[in-house]
Amino acid sequence: MDTIEADYLVIGAGATAMAFVDTLVSETTATVVIVDRNHAPGGHWNTAYPFVRLHQPSAYYGVNSRPLGSDTIDQSGWNAGYYELASGAEVCAYFDAVMQQHLLPTGRVSYFPMSEYLGDRRFRTLGGQEFTVTVRRRIVDSTYIGVVVPSMRKPAYAVAAGVDCIPPNDLPKVREARDEYVIVGAGKTAMDACLWLLRHGIAPQRLTWIKPRDSWLLDRANVQPGALFAKRMAADVAAQLKAVELASSVEDLFDRLAASGCLLRIDESIEPTMFRCAIVSQGELTQLRRIENVVRMGHVTAIAPGRIELDGGSVSTHPTALYIDCTADGLGSRDVVTVFDGEVITLQMVRTCQPAFSAAAIAHVEAAYDDDTTRNAFCRPVPYPHVPLDWLRMMLAYNSNQLHWFTDPEMMSWLDGARLNILSHAKSAVSERVRQKIAGALRPVLQSTNEKLEALLAS
């Protein structure tokens, strides 16, 4: 057993770990050991399907020190008019460049890919060498969400011999057209698989979409960076706050959010029971609405040739149908934990739907403040969303963080300069004086919004 020493031991080299280490290394003189079981940085982006793209603009994803993409507005396709979305390959190449060209050249970061963290500060490399890390400051756990994509595991339902059931990773390898394509799952991965099939000319009548649940979605038009979209984003935030203020119940709140375009759904006649921060453009939504053969009979329990068994009954399919398994739970479902807790930092979100920004913010707070009580006051964890009520829980926690950030000019100035902060891209549109005025006006609104959210959650 070899021993190495470092200030920080970071478990994982996915997006959150990379964003954390990038900021930590930029703002301190700390040394870091990063241990990851993958062969390259980027976490689950290394195993995602080949046609995956960010569903948010590249402009504010990745790490703070390096731009991702070229800030181009797409001119064609279903994202036309909005900022570019990096492909999975671009995201992986980006994190590789961050590691090779920024982190490792500092001489303060040691990276151990293909290495398994065994707990208790120990890890084992692929070659079998075991290390113990003497950690001077903290262990940073970036594995909290436990992202699982379909290619990482077998489907949870039985698949009979003779049935073609593939993860979305294998979709581009299928060269012969099928009479029927059955997409199993209702999340963003399933939407991506549907859009991929439609983009390649498969008629919507040949798609069967098994949706155990429907989801509330975010409109990509409302999460665009930069001056061009600043008014639209401000109008969306104002509409969300207004909806909370006027809501007479949780149901009424979601009706208002839907009516004002803050939340979208594919089928407007269905009340969604899921919310996962998935983002779509109106162009994608139009395409998804072309799929009429939607099966809402619960989860799939088994697939046999020509037949699908579900919780709520069975459905006949074409005997040569191709099944695309999109059922993995992208974001795990652990309860929130304290971010700064003794010798451990557990990376979680501190801003709604923004894991990379959040990890960088946590690193900055670790570097800039002296004690964990202060640090935790800046970083109240925002829960990962699963059900619609989580929209309220997320807003409540994020508003609390924002109110705390307003109290500290140093934190506000860090936020202004952080490329992972969507709001920093609107700089040219808003002067410092106006920004302070907005913060002053927002403070009482956020306070009363939080009181109302607490009342709605308790009702």
Ligand X SMILES: Cc1cc2nc3c(=O)[nH]c(=O)nc-3n(C[C@H](O)[C@H](O)[C@H](O)COP(=O)(O)OP(=O)(O)OC[C@H]3O[C@@H](n4cnc5c(N)ncnc54)[C@H](O)[C@@H]3O)c2cc1C
Tell me which residues touch ligand X (CB under 6 A).
11-17, 35-38, 43-44, 48, 52, 54-56, 61, 116-117, 142-143, 145, 147, 149, 188-189, 330, 354-356
In angstroms, what is the minimal distance from the CB of 353 to ligand X? Answer: 6
Output the CA angle 274-276-279, nearest 5 degrees: 115
In angstroms, what is the minimal distance from the CB of 120 to ligand X? Answer: 12
The region, left, alpha or beta by phi > 0 then psi within -120 to 50, assigned to residue 220 is: alpha
Output the six-digit token pair for 335.
């309860």
Q: For ligand X, which is the closer residue by CB, 308 or 420? A: 420
Farthest CA pair distance, the chain: 67
Q: Quick one: CA dihedral 232, 236, 238, 243, positive or negative?
A: positive
Q: How far apart are CA 337 and CA 144, in angstroms?
A: 9
In angstroms, what is the minimal distance from the CB of 149 to ligand X? Answer: 5
The gap from C-alpha 284 to its chain's centroid, in whole angstroms, comes to 18
Q: For ligand X, which is the closer residue by CB, 37 or 102? A: 37
Q: For ligand X, which is the closer residue by CB, 163 or 345? A: 345
Q: For ligand X, which is the closer residue by CB, 11 or 280? A: 11
Q: For ligand X, which is the closer residue by CB, 56 or 281? A: 56
Q: Nearest Cα to 132, choosing from 141, 119, 120, 122?
A: 122
Q: For ligand X, which is the closer residue by CB, 353 or 456? A: 353
Q: How far apart are CA 102 and CA 110, in angstroms?
A: 12
Q: Nearest Cα to 400, choosing from 327, 336, 317?
A: 336
Report in angstroms the alpha-carbon separations of 448 from 87, 241, 242, 393, 452: 40, 10, 11, 15, 6
Q: How far apart are CA 236 and CA 241, in angstroms?
A: 9
Q: For ligand X, which is the closer residue by CB, 260 or 282? A: 282
In angstroms, what is the minimal distance from the CB of 256 to ligand X? Answer: 26
In angstroms, what is the minimal distance from the CB of 191 to ligand X? Answer: 10
Q: For ligand X, which is the closer residue by CB, 31 or 56? A: 56
In angstroms, what is the minimal distance from the CB of 37 to ligand X? Answer: 4
In angstroms, what is the minimal distance from the CB of 360 to ligand X? Answer: 12
428 CB-near residues (< 8 Å, 6+ apart): 227
Q: Nearest Cα to 346, choosing from 114, 20, 6?
A: 20
Q: For ligand X, which is the closer residue by CB, 90 or 236? A: 90
In angstroms, what is the minimal distance from the CB of 199 to ligand X? Answer: 17
What one-character-per-residue DSSP string does 336-349 give?
P--SEETTEEE--B
Q: How far apart are CA 161 and CA 158, in angstroms?
A: 10
In angstroms, what is the minimal distance from the CB of 105 to ligand X? Answer: 22
